[in-house]
Amino acid sequence: MRQKIDIGDLVEYDKYQALVLDRKTINPNYNTERVYHPDEYHCKVLLLNSDLDNDQRWVRTKWLKLLSKSS
């Protein structure tokens, strides 16, 4: 089910633009067939303008700002 922020979306985190690579619920016992509140899941993001190569981090979804949805 499509979430507010999902895999493939372009987001902003702190001073970085990032691409969402994966998402997981914080509590693994949640039902997976519903829309989650941003406090209930986190996303693995690739920071695009980072000084480090392949800079990937798990970030709470509530800290991400959506810039563009993937199609």
pLDDT averaged over the chain? 88
pTM score, whole prediction? 0.83
**Inter-residue contact 57 to 44 (CB < 8 Å):** yes
Greater confidence (26 vs 50) lies with 50
pLDDT, one tens digit per residue, over 2-31 is 678 889 999 999 999 999 999 888 877 766
Greater confidence (39 vs 1) lies with 39
Q: How far apart are CA 15 and CA 8, in angstroms?
A: 19
What is the structure's pLDDT at 32?
Answer: 65
